């Protein structure tokens, strides 16, 4: 018995049946119908089959598969979209279109050898990218080209890192699946807010460790940083050591808070109360605002007298009609907290100037805030 899903396909030319481990970060089941595709497969035929749920296992030149995927993406993007009747409707239609697009484009498959080599012409060396995301390979597997390109992109980001001006221009190197501080305005908010104490801080959901690193640089002597995700903890550990801050920051696997109280507790939870479509979206989508609620509800019990909770929250959900400002204020109130101050910043990300983006209206209005919360 194996503890991973298996993809089965037949090779009509040879009349043989094959199996391999199926890899899908989103946890999608292996496609039931699989056909063989190669350099002779046209984009129209590939796209039609993918839309019908037939996966195409690639046997041709690797770079041609990349081009085929681009051609399939263009066809997916040409699909007519329903006009939205409200921002919430626009968001729901956008998520639906994204998930349908992901399903269709995820139908072009690449076989990987047990050591992650790819036995196709002009194939890149993806050993490092795959080992970083999946761990050492143990058996032949099959993955969608779309997921594989994501892994390669993440590997490049991890190598290059993201420059953080608030960390004196030092770089944070995000790992695959870990929330990247690429839109760094929120980091600037944390860099500027007056510290209530330099003795101790908790960083709830540390991700790459960027905020823990910033607090350490600002002179906070000890920081306890938590995350539930092992990839995040490994990533934070690596970043903090690279920055020479490991002795100030203790990393712990925990659901929200560590034990005890601190004069400063910070949290940058996912900001959209909606269902993530894959584990790597969990840093953005938080069904029913679970982490936000958990942070607010547990804050009073983890703050020292006169301590401050810093909640970093974009109001994007409010502009989409997913959660109202009143609902957020009611959650703060119900948790026995009061707002001691709020600093705002406008995100500068490129999509905020892309008028063809279906969520453009909400993006241009978006403001990210650092809410300074105290016990009532
Ligand atoms: C939006 S990311 C923020 C990461 C980092 N603090 C930053 O500001 O870049 C949210 C993080 O919270 C983590 N997380 C989600 N639920 C959690 C929970 N219940 N307990 C601890 N961490 C959690 C996620 O794994 C993710 O790393």
Q: What is the band of 321 on the pLDDT scale with cuts at 50, 70, 90?
A: very high
Q: Is 94 exposed, middle or buried (0-12, 13-18, 19+ CB in 10 A)?
A: middle
**Rounded to an integer, what distance in angstroms lies between the CA atom of residue 152 and that of residue 312?**
30
C-alpha closest to that of 226 among 199, 187, 255, 198: 255
Residues flanking ligand 1, CB < 6 Å: 179, 181, 205-208, 210-211, 226-229, 232, 255-256, 268-270, 283, 291
Indicate the SS3 state at residue 128: helix
Given a cut of 60, is residue 58 above it in pLDDT? yes
Which pLDDT tens digit goes with each residue over 279-301? 888 888 999 999 999 999 999 99
pTM of the model: 0.93
Nearest CA, atom 16, ligand 1: 291
Given a cut of 90, is residue 102 above it in pLDDT? yes
Tell the residue number behind the tokens 């595709």, with chain if given: 37
Give the CA dihedral 297, 91, 183, 242, nearest 10 degrees.
60
C-alpha closest to that of 125 among 96, 99, 151: 151
Which pLDDT tens digit goes with each residue over 329-351? 999 999 999 999 999 999 876 66
Given a cut of 60, is residue 1 above it in pLDDT? no
Fold classified for 163-375: Rossmann fold (3.40.50)
**Domain boundaries of the chain, sorted by first residue:** 6-156, 163-375
**pLDDT of the residue at 349:** 65
**Quick one: what percent of the chain has pLDDT higher than 70?**
98
CA of 21 from ligand 1 middle (Å) equals: 30
Nearest CA, atom 4, ligand 1: 207
Atom of ligand 1 nearest to the CA of 226: 21
Beta bridge partners of 202: 224, 265
**pLDDT of the residue at 351:** 61
Contact 177, 280 (CB under 8 A): yes
Which pLDDT tens digit goes with each residue over 155-208? 999 999 999 999 999 999 999 999 999 888 999 999 999 999 999 999 999 999
Which pLDDT tens digit goes with each residue over 115-153? 999 999 999 999 999 999 999 999 999 999 999 999 999
Mean pLDDT of the chain: 94
**pLDDT of the residue at 360:** 79
CA of 362 from ligand 1 middle (Å) equals: 23
Mutate to test the pocket of ligand 1, among 201, 205, 230, 345 (most ligand atoms within 8 A of CB): 205
Which is more confidently placed, 332 or 81?
A: 332
- The tally of CA atoms less than 13 A away on the side-chain side of residue 155 is 17
């Amino acid at each position: 018995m194996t503890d991973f899903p298996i993809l089965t396909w037949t090779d009509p030319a040879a009349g043989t049946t094959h199996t391999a481990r199926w890899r899908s970060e989103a946890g999608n089941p292996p496609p039931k119908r699989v056909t063989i595709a190669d350099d002779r497969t046209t984009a129209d035929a590939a796209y039609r089959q993918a839309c019908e749920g037939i996966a195409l296992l690639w046997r041709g030149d690797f770079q041609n598969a990349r081009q085929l995927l681009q051609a399939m993406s263009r066809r997916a993007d040409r699909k007519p979209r329903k006009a939205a009747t409200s921002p919430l409707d626009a968001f729901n239609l956008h998520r639906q279109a994204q998930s349908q697009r992901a399903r269709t484009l995820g139908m072009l498959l690449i076989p990987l050898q047990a050591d992650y080599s790819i036995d196709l012409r002009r194939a890149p060396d993806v050993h490092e990218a795959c080992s970083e995301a999946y761990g050492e390979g143990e058996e032949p597997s099959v993955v969608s080209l779309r997921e594989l390109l994501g892994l390669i992109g993440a590997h490049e980001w991890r190598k290059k890192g993201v420059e953080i001006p608030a960390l004196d221009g030092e770089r944070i190197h995000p790992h695959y699946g870990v929330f990247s501080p690429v839109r760094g305005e929120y980091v600037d908010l944390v860099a500027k807010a007056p510290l209530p104490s330099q003795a101790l801080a908790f960083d709830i959901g540390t991700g790459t460790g960027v905020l823990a690193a910033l607090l350490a640089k600002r002179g906070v002597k000890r920081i306890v940083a938590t995350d539930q995700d092992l990839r995040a903890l490994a990533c934070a550990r690596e970043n903090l050591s690279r920055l020479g801050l490991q002795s100030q920051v203790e990393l712990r696997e925990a659901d929200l808070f560590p034990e005890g109280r601190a004069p400063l507790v910070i949290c940058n939870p996912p900001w959209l109360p909606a269902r993530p479509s894959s584990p790597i979206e969990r840093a953005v989508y938080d069904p029913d605002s679970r982490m936000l609620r958990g942070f607010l509800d547990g804050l009073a019990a983890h703050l020292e007298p006169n301590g401050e909770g810093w909640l970093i929250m974009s109001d994007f959900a409010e502009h989409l009609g997913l959660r109202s400002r009143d609902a957020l204020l009611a959650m703060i109130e119900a948790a026995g907290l009061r707002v001691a101050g709020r600093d705002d910043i406008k995100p500068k990300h490129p999509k905020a100037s892309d008028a063809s983006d279906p969520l453009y209206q909400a993006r241009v209005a978006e403001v990210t805030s650092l809410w300074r919360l105290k016990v009532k």
